[in-house]
Amino acid sequence: MSQSIRLATVADAANIARLINAAFQIAEDFFIEGDRITLAEVVNSFEKGEFLVVDEDGQLTACVYLEPQQERTYLGLLSVDPRLQRAGLGTVLLEAAEKHCAKRASQSIYMKVVNLRTELPVYYRKRGYVEQGTSPFPSHIRTKVPCWFIEMSKSLTNKS
């Protein structure tokens, strides 16, 4: 198997949307109904940021969205093909994203995780992320139970 990590292009948008929706459907079905993202939202994301993807023999198996915001970068939509989850691919992609952002002179990386996904803060803490506070969940997304975001960040100043 040949595996590479690369920057996605808009031509990858449909595969990225499929991958994100498959991964998030398993993880978020208990509190959100429907798809996590539309094709149009993925395409629009390329206007502000970029996706790093893992490509295995021509198939996208993981992706993450990165959006530069002055001296820091927002990281979101970290997704791994459900058939390959829990095999370390997410960690490999997360480390690649951190190095990529550090090379682009980003001083830190931050993310928002849903409080209902109790495994996520633990996962990210083990990788050096620190909780910074909370913020509201988008009101336009209907949820089955109330929820909010936990904001986490990590310094990248020693990653280049």
DSSP string, 84-140: GTTSSHHHHHHHHHHHHHHHTT--EEEEEEETT-THHHHHHHTTT-EEEEEEEPPTT
The residue extents of the domains of the chain are 3-155
Evaluate whether 144 touches 30 at the Cβ level (below 8 Å).
yes
Q: Which residue has the higher pLDDT, 142 or 69?
A: 69
pTM: 0.93
How confident is the prediction for the chain on average, in pLDDT?
Answer: 93
The tokens 């509190």 sit on which residue? 31
For residue 160, the model assigns a pLDDT of 46
For residue 43, the model assigns a pLDDT of 98
Residue 12 has pLDDT above 70, yes or no: yes
For residue 157, the model assigns a pLDDT of 86
CATH of span 3-155: 3.40.630.30
Per residue in 36-87, pLDDT (tens digit) is: 899 999 999 999 999 999 998 889 999 999 999 999 999 999 999 999 888 8
- Residue 53 host element (H or E): strand 50-56
